[in-house]
Structure formats: C-alpha cells, structure tokens
Chains A and B, each alone.
Chain A
Amino acid sequence: MFDATPRNLKDARREGLVRILFLLMTALLVLPVLLILGVLVAKGGSALSWDFLFTEPTDGMTAGGLLPALVGTIWLVVIALIVSVPIGIAAALYLSEYAPDNWLTRAINLAIINLAGVPSIVHALFGVGAFVIFFGFGTSILAASFTLAVMTLPVVIVSTREALQAVPQSFREACWNMGATRWQTIRKVVLPNSISGILTGVILEVSRTAGETAPIMFTGAAFFLPFLPESVYDQTMAMSLHLFVVATQVPNVPDNLPFGVALVLIGMVLAMNAISIAFRTWLRRKKKW
C-alpha cells in the first residue's frame, strides 16, 4: 500500500499537472488587475498633480483638473450612505435577529438578490421614473443619490447580516435568559460585537457607490458643470461619468488626461476596498471569544 506503484505515480503526476493548470487559470484571472493598474499608472501618472485634483476643468475639459467631479462624487456617496446605511442595517437586523423562517423572509431574501442583480441601467430608469419625475426631485444630486442608495442597499444588508450572524447565538440566549429584550440584547451585546464588521461593509459600499456610472447619468450627474454644487437640488459632475465623458465625448483631449482621471477614480475605489479588507483582517485577529 505504501509502494510507489505505477498507478500511484501516474496519479501523482496528474495531480501535479492539474494543480498547475488551476493555478494558471487563477493567475490569468487575477493578473489583469495588476496589469491594468500598471498601465493606468504608466500612462496617467504624468497627469497627476495637486492642481489636477484641486482645480476646475478648463478649455472644454481638455485641460485643468477634476475638482467639481471629485466633490460631486463625495456629495453623491455621502447622501447615498445617509439613506442606505440606516435602511440596510435595519433590514439586516430584521433578517438576522427577528425574521421567522417563513415565506415573507424568503421573499425579502429574493428581493435583495434581485436588487443586487438588476442591471445598473435599469436602476437608472427607476431613478428617472421615481425620483426625477414622480417625486419631483428633477435631475439633481438628491435623485442620483437615492438611485445609488437603492442600488447599493444589498451590499450593506448582506455584509451587515454576515457581521451580525458571526456573533454566536449562545450570547443572545444568555441575555434572553436574564430577561433582556431582543433590542436590549442587540444593543448591548450583538451590535458592539459586530459594529466593526458592519463598518467594513459600509466602506465596501462607499467603494461600490463611487464607481457607479449608469445610475447617475440621467438622474443627476452632468457632463460638464465647472463649479461646485450648492444644494442637493443641483446637478453635479462625478468622477465616473467624467471619465466616460473625457474618454468618449470630448475631442482633442491630451492622452494622459483620461488616464489620469481613471487613475484617480480607481485609486479612490481600490483604496476604500483595501481599507475594508485590512479592517476585516485586523478584526479576524482580535477575536473576543
């Protein structure tokens, strides 16, 4: 049984081959990330400067910086968070702490999967029909942010629910046995022990929200608007749409400008993602039970 019989040798060789094959497939999948980053840095790096970040575009967007787009994206993300985080956390609390195993819960779960799966352009149509027209927000930061909030709601719900469910059930039972209500249990034991996991999800949502383009195209983001928004009823430029515009709609753009915009956008998004991942890793290390 312990001899290296021909059959075992053949198995071992095949094992090695299969292993390498799968490693190659994985590598081919993840290498583009590094490649893309490399190309963006190489071609767009020269565009980066403080002026690029903190001045307004000039000469029909063929020169100058991207300040209004940067500020606009921050407006959109912040308002989207204000709307979606409370709703998302409430929904996750319901699903994790309250929901009985019944048809309604299954319907909610299906709805969440669908909210996450509906094409972004369909969310855009919803935003136009509901927020721009029906609720009368017009094309504005408000309408765009609400659209983004609905679209990224599943990210908050799913990550919050995961964080809540990582808290062992026995902790809840111990509290209930002492006469704590569900809410007291959540407030004193469940939330304090999942808040960092919830935060990780929120950071992830920021990264997702900042990169979205289609949902804001017709709801509040403007192609060119070289000043900063003053209220939520204004339109605004946004990083993601700005990249689309300088890449496809504006003639005679210097080569490094769109690459610079892309670099800033992806830098923002990946930085948020990296923070979220680092946070999660750190959390796993400092286990409290």
Chain B
Amino acid sequence: MTDRKADPAVDRRDVAWWSDKAVSVLVFLGGISAILFIIGIFVFITREGFGFGEHFKAGEIFGSTRWAPTSDSNPTYGILALVAGTASVTGLAMLIAVPFSLGAAIYIAEFAKGRTREVLKVLVEMLAAIPSVVWGFIGLTIMNPLIIQTFDVPIGLCVLNSGLILGLMAAPIMTTIAEDALKAVPDSYREAAEALGATRWQVTRRVVLPAARQGLLAAVLLGVGRGFGETMAVLMASGHSINLPTSPFDSVRALTATIAAELGETAVGSPHYQALFMLGILLFAVTFLINLAADLIVRGIRKG
C-alpha cells in the first residue's frame, strides 16, 4: 500500500482540474449572457430614445389620441389611440384564444390518448411555427375579402381580422403551457377521484383544474404577452389607421405596428425617431411585467 501522505497527486491540480475550472467560467458567462442581453435591450433602447425627454409632455402623450409626429406645425405624440388599438386587438384575441386554448389543453391532456394526442400536439406545434408575416399575409389576402363579403362592410382589415389572427397565434403557446400545467397535476389525484366513481370530466373539473389553476393563469398571461407584442400580423391585418375603435369592424393601429411602419422613415436622432424608441421602452416594460407576473405565479406553484 502506498503512503498517501507523501503522494502529491491529491494536491496537484492537473489538466483535468484546470479544464474543468475553465469550462465552468465559460458556461457561467453563457449563463449570465441572458441577463446581459436583457439589460442591453433596456440600455440601448433608452439610449436612442433618451433625447425625447425635452418633448415629453405626459398630459399629451397619455391624454391625447392624436399621434402626428410628422406634422410640421404641431407635432403631437398622443398614444391613446395606439393603446386602444393594441388593447382592442389583444382583447378580442384573448376572448377567442383563452377558451379555445384551455379547451384544447384539457382535451389533449385529459381526454386524448396515444396517437390522437401525438397528432394534435404536432398540429399545435405547427400552428406555433407559422411565421407572423405569413399570418399577416393571410389576414390581408384571405380574411379581408372574407370579412367584407360576410359582414357587408367596406373594409375587412380591422379589429376582427387582426384579433382572430392574433388569437390563433397566441393559442399554441397558451395550449402548450396550459397542457404542461395540467400534466403537472400528479396522477394520484386523478386515480383517487376515479376510484370514487367520478367520470373523467368530474375529475378534471373538481380535481385537476383547481390543482392546475396557477399554471393555467400563467399560460393565459404569457398568451397575452404574445398577442400584445405581435408586430407584423397586426401591421398587415388591422388596417393601420389611427382610431378609437367602437366596433370590431373599425380599423385600428397598434403600438408595435406603429414602430414597424414608421421607423424606416425617420431620421436618426429626430424627435419622431426618439418617440418610437420611447414606445419601445413602454412595450418592453409592459411585457417585462407580464412575464414577471407569470414567473411569480409559476414559482408559487413550485413552492406551494
């Protein structure tokens, strides 16, 4: 037997030791990169939009419906109509997407079996994969004439059109997350209820849904975030006219679409350009809050 006290191997930090150290530093950098990027997004957008401070009049911005940054005589930056546009489209989208997504999640998680289940999941994934510009294109070329014909209105690029499309776009993420939340309810709960003679639906309604309600809420929130931040589809399908909507057939204009449509036409550093970056900060802040809320809710599940 060797005398281990004299053996230097235990104190020698060999190649393996050092390469492990090096890799741990590298992956740590990768890990914190996500945080750096989030900070970077905030910093660089603020940097570009910062100069807008001197034009900043809270009363006008949050109190006026007049978004006219290009007006020579009287440029105004009221975002009320844009907020109303985003809210109406997102609201309608959620009205459609929430019940359907939760229904689909319940069907896929609790009722469907084997092959059906797999096929449905793949289709939901396919739905999520369709690029937003294709959705916008569909709104423009298929839904637009369809709405004009069906409802006998002059234009089909409106709240209804973009709301429907946004609903379909937000549905897959909500379905997927809601299904995860339902799957996270332990099978022992279901078995216990089924042993008492409850039907599948009774089990779902009385046992599974209450147990998964926080996860379902998080799913809805993330869906809202997705709808709220969608750009190309809303730009193409909403009609893009500044309006306080009074009916689903009114054209509106969303915050995201405004940036997409106008950024290319502004001079770098002009008040208009800076105003668009301020809108970006607003969008960033709201999605940050939505995601934070969803995260806190999900964490609540893990703790409780």
Direct contact of A and B (CB under 8 A): yes
Cβ-defined contact, B141 with A183, below 8 A = no
Cβ-defined contact, A121 with B284, below 8 A = no
Known: A25-B100, A29-B124, A113-B295. A99 touches B31 (CB 8 A): yes
Minimum distance in angstroms from A148 CB to a CB of chain B:
13
Kindly identify which residue among B38, B129, B264 contacts A218, using a CB–CB cutoff of 8 Å. Answer: B264
CB nearest to B277 among chain A residues:
A125
Cβ-defined contact, A214 with B201, below 8 A = no
Cβ-defined contact, A153 with B107, below 8 A = no
The reply on B120 being an interface residue by CB < 8 A is: yes
With a CB–CB cut-off of 8 A, which chain A residues contact B140? 247-248
Kindly identify which residue among B33, B100, B125, B287 contacts A117, using a CB–CB cutoff of 8 Å. Answer: B287
A244-B261 Cα distance, complex, nearest whole Å = 12
Cβ-defined contact, A21 with B20, below 8 A = no
With a CB–CB cut-off of 8 A, which chain A residues contact B130? 33, 36, 211, 266, 269-270
With a CB–CB cut-off of 8 A, which chain A residues contact B136? 244, 247
Kindly identify which residue among A19, A29, A97, A133 contacts B27, using a CB–CB cutoff of 8 Å. Answer: A97
Cβ-defined contact, A29 with B287, below 8 A = no
Kindly identify which residue among B47, B132, B141 contacts A211, using a CB–CB cutoff of 8 Å. Answer: B132
The reply on A159 being an interface residue by CB < 8 A is: no
Known: A111-B35, A122-B284. A23 touches B107 (CB 8 A): yes
Majority SS at the chain A contact face: helix
Cβ-defined contact, A129 with B47, below 8 A = yes
> Digit string of B27-47 for contact with A (CB within 8 Å is 1, else 0)?
111111111011011001101
With a CB–CB cut-off of 8 A, which chain B residues contact A254? none
Q: How large is the interface on A (under 10, 10 to 19, 20 to 34, 35 or more residues)?
A: 35 or more
With a CB–CB cut-off of 8 A, which chain A residues contact B268? 133
> Digit string of A113-125 for contact with B (CB within 8 Å is 1, else 0)?
1110111111111
A134-B46 Cα distance, complex, nearest whole Å = 13
The reply on B153 being an interface residue by CB < 8 A is: no
The reply on B193 being an interface residue by CB < 8 A is: no
Kindly identify which residue among B99, B141, B229 contacts A258, using a CB–CB cutoff of 8 Å. Answer: B141
A105-B35 Cα distance, complex, nearest whole Å = 10
Cβ-defined contact, A94 with B38, below 8 A = no
List, sorted by A's number, 18 A–B pairs whose CB atoms are closer than 8 Å. Answer: A12-B199, A21-B103, A22-B111, A23-B111, A25-B100, A39-B142, A89-B30, A91-B31, A93-B30, A98-B24, A108-B32, A115-B38, A119-B230, A122-B283, A125-B44, A213-B232, A243-B134, A244-B232
A interface, CB within 8 angstroms of B: 1, 11-12, 14-15, 18-19, 21-23, 25-26, 28-30, 32-34, 36, 39, 86-95, 97-99, 104-105, 107-115, 117-126, 128-130, 133-134, 150, 153-154, 157, 181-184, 186, 207-208, 210-214, 217-218, 240-241, 243-244, 247-248, 258-259, 262, 265-266, 269-270, 273, 277, 281
Cβ-defined contact, B37 with A248, below 8 A = no
B interface, CB within 8 angstroms of A: 16-17, 19-20, 23-24, 26-35, 37-38, 40-41, 44-45, 47-48, 99-101, 103-104, 106-108, 111-112, 118, 120, 122-127, 129-134, 136-138, 140-142, 168, 171, 175, 197, 199-202, 222, 225-226, 228-232, 236, 256, 259-260, 263-264, 268, 276-277, 280, 283-284, 287-288, 290-292, 294-295
With a CB–CB cut-off of 8 A, which chain B residues contact A29? 100-101, 104, 124, 127, 168, 171, 175
CB nearest to B22 among chain A residues:
A183
Cβ-defined contact, B229 with A117, below 8 A = yes
Minimum distance in angstroms from B104 CB to a CB of chain A:
4
A15-B110 Cα distance, complex, nearest whole Å = 12
A1-B195 Cα distance, complex, nearest whole Å = 12
Known: A248-B236, A277-B122. A183 touches B34 (CB 8 A): no
